[in-house]
A and B are shown apart, each in its own frame.
Chain A
Amino acid sequence: MKLIYVLAFIPFLGVLGGIFFANRVEPYVLGLPFILFWIVAWVVLTSVLMTIIYMLDPANREESR
């Protein structure tokens, strides 16, 4: 399987699978209850992963004009 698909799958694991472990208030991180911090962290990580995917994906190079 291509690396970019594996990368795209990670946030699904983090958000959906992780919620069972992250469903707690303590410890507070950056002033946020842990569950909220966990979700925010995955939103940010998704953006990072999508940037990497965008750079790795040959489709974006072929089209560059």
Chain B
Amino acid sequence: MNAALPVLFVFLALAIYLGIRSRRGKDMDLEQWTVGARSFGTVFVFLLLAGEIYTTFTFLGGSGWAYGKGGPAFYILSYGCLAYIISYWLLPVIWRYAKENRLVSQSDFFVSKYRSPYLGVLVALVGVVAMVPYLVLQLKGLGLIVSTASYGSIPEWVAVVIGVAALVIYVTISGIHGSAWTAVAKDITVLSVVVFLGIYLPLHYYGGFENMFQQIEQAKPGFLTLPKEIYSPWWFVSTVLLTALGFYMWPHTFGSTYTAENERVFRRNAIFLPLYQLVLLFVFFVGFAAVLKVPGLTGDKVDLSLLKVSTQSFDPWLVGIIGGTGLLTAMVPGSMLLIASSTLLVKNVYRVFAPATSEAQVGRLVKIMVPVVALVAMYFTLSGSSTIVTLLLLGYSFVTQLFPSLIFSLLPNNFVNKYGAAAGILAGVVTVAYLTLTGTTIGTLLPSLPQGAKDLNVGIIAMFVNVALLLAVSLITRGLTAEDEEGVRGEALES
């Protein structure tokens, strides 16, 4: 047995211990379990929101993109900072409304704003469909990390099973409190490990950052910038913009904003989160350092670049720490995804069709749902679909389709009604699914366009279709909802 394994297990034990400890002295009703009774201050909300940035996707995928694609990887560093600017105004409004109406899920928000439980069902299902591949990705990363860090002595599937078991245990016991505390442990280790690797590798192998980049540029001219076609500046602009809009539309991210104790938490976080993102810079350095040192990884193997360059450079105990860090980067988002998707399925889908379900029963059912969702994700992970990145991008495009209806619902005089919102979301999602699955790009649809327009992210088309239907259907069905609206106004006057 090598020294990496015991270190890995210490990390796993730590995660479970923090999860169990965090529940102490708390009565776990649904509001406590899902949104921490809206009691989290700047630091915890910061860590929860940041926790979703540093997932296995960034840890392995960020370095993997830098290694495999070069310059286009820089988009990962760019969209967050724009999303945080939007968050300064968006999140306080969402939080205030959620608190006043005691909402616990993203779907609740649409139900309450548009007065339609069925729109809530649609939003919940879109969210869950988007989250399952995201969860699969975390589990797959977990398997890769543990099996590589154990030098192959733990097979990937065993790592996945152990990880799922640990996730289910602490999510069931402590809910969001476990995620918050594990996020603390995760962020401390991820910061130290990534900064260490990002500085050590370029200095050790190349004698400096500029040297490293110059050698790469010499070996692969143009690798460090955006190419003229496909991943062109136009691709960059449209992708960064769409991703920034979709950023807070993930149900688990949306849900974790409810945990804040007041609105200023978000405004303060908008100052610090952009800087925190700079850790990604070091993730890129690791990927770039690997370009000339562990060449030859292609396809989905590029995600292994960080781990490969680590096992090549360090002693097993240090590889164990790096692997343990990776384990935590999968656990925190994994647990939040589990909480969000089980809550959505029970509260916003099941309960709509079984309205007699009591609050306490909902609470119990959600916890029963956790292992069910985890097992579904585990099944997809182990059945080994190689198109996970496609699925993740699909998920991102799915949740982004919720953005227009959300923004309209925040307007003081929202003329978009539930029919319009539902039509827009459905049309957007169907468009995304069709375009992605058939591999359509703007270039294949309209070959006569100039190259710049061809490289635009295909999600833009779905967004247009979405907004067009949202407006058209709202106008056509205006008369249908007139009665509802009077009801709403009447109630608003009374309260």
A residues whose Cβ falls under 8 Å from a Cβ of B: 8, 11-12, 15-16, 19-20, 23-25, 28, 30-33, 35-36, 39-40, 42-44, 46-47, 50-51, 53-54, 57, 59-60, 63
Cα A47 to Cα B277 with chains together (Å): 11
Given the interface pairs A33-B213, A35-B226, A47-B274, the reply to whether A60 lies near B264 with Cβ below 8 Å is: yes
* Contact residue among A16, A50, A60 (Cβ-Cβ distance under 8 Å from B240): A16
Given the interface pairs A31-B213, A43-B77, the reply to whether A8 lies near B85 with Cβ below 8 Å is: yes
* Contact residue among A12, A15, A50 (Cβ-Cβ distance under 8 Å from B270): A50
Interface string of B183-226 (1 = CB under 8 A from A): 00000000000000000000000001110011001000000111
Cα A28 to Cα B225 with chains together (Å): 13
* Contact residue among B225, B233, B236, B278 (Cβ-Cβ distance under 8 Å from A40): B278
Contacts of B210 in A (CB 8 A): 28, 31-32
Number of interface residues of B (CB under 8 A): 38
Contacts of A28 in B (CB 8 A): 210, 213-214
* Contact residue among A31, A42, A50 (Cβ-Cβ distance under 8 Å from B271): A50
Given the interface pairs A46-B85, A54-B270, the reply to whether A40 lies near B237 with Cβ below 8 Å is: no
Within 8 A of A (CB), among B268-299: 268, 270-272, 274-275, 277-278, 281, 284
* Contact residue among B71, B209, B262, B278 (Cβ-Cβ distance under 8 Å from A43): B278
Residue of B nearest to A33 (CB): B224
* Total contacts A-B at CB 8 Å: 101
Cα A20 to Cα B71 with chains together (Å): 13
Residue of A nearest to B262 (CB): A63
Cα A50 to Cα B267 with chains together (Å): 8
Contacts of B122 in A (CB 8 A): none
Interface string of B58-92 (1 = CB under 8 A from A): 00000000000001001001100110110010001
Residue of A nearest to B202 (CB): A31
Within 8 A of A (CB), among B129-180: none
Residue among A24, A28, A33 with max Cβ neighbours from chain B (10 Å): A33
B residues whose Cβ falls under 8 Å from a Cβ of A: 71, 74, 77-78, 81-82, 84-85, 88, 92, 208-210, 213-214, 217, 224-226, 233, 236-237, 240-241, 262-264, 267-268, 270-272, 274-275, 277-278, 281, 284
In whole Å, how far is B260's beta carbon from the nearest beta carbon of chain A?
13
* Contact residue among A23, A44, A47 (Cβ-Cβ distance under 8 Å from B272): A47
Cα A30 to Cα B202 with chains together (Å): 14
Cα A28 to Cα B211 with chains together (Å): 10
Contact of A25 with B274 in the complex, beta carbons under 8 Å: no
Given the interface pairs A39-B74, A47-B272, the reply to whether A15 lies near B81 with Cβ below 8 Å is: yes
In whole Å, how far is A4's beta carbon from the nearest beta carbon of chain B?
9
Contact of A19 with B262 in the complex, beta carbons under 8 Å: no
Contacts of B240 in A (CB 8 A): 15-16
**9 closest Cβ contacts across the A-B interface?**
A31-B209, A31-B210, A47-B274, A50-B271, A46-B274, A46-B81, A33-B224, A47-B275, A16-B237
Contacts of B82 in A (CB 8 A): 11-12, 15-16, 46
Contacts of A63 in B (CB 8 A): 262-264
In whole Å, how far is B89's beta carbon from the nearest beta carbon of chain A?
8
Residue of A nearest to B210 (CB): A31
Given the interface pairs A15-B240, A40-B278, A50-B271, the reply to whether A25 lies near B85 with Cβ below 8 Å is: no
Contacts of B277 in A (CB 8 A): 43
Contact of B267 with A54 in the complex, beta carbons under 8 Å: yes
Contact of A39 with B88 in the complex, beta carbons under 8 Å: no
Contact of A19 with B264 in the complex, beta carbons under 8 Å: no
* Contact residue among B78, B85, B233, B267 (Cβ-Cβ distance under 8 Å from A59): B267
Cα A59 to Cα B93 with chains together (Å): 12
Residue among B209, B241, B263 with max Cβ neighbours from chain A (10 Å): B209
Cα A59 to Cα B262 with chains together (Å): 12
Residue of A nearest to B77 (CB): A39
In whole Å, how far is B58's beta carbon from the nearest beta carbon of chain A?
15
Residue among B77, B78, B209, B277 with max Cβ neighbours from chain A (10 Å): B78
Contacts of B278 in A (CB 8 A): 40, 43-44
Residue of A nearest to B87 (CB): A50
Cα A23 to Cα B281 with chains together (Å): 17
Q: A36-B224, A59-B92 are in contact. List 7 more A-B contacts (CB 8 A).
A: A12-B82, A23-B225, A23-B233, A33-B224, A36-B281, A54-B271, A57-B267
Cα A30 to Cα B240 with chains together (Å): 25
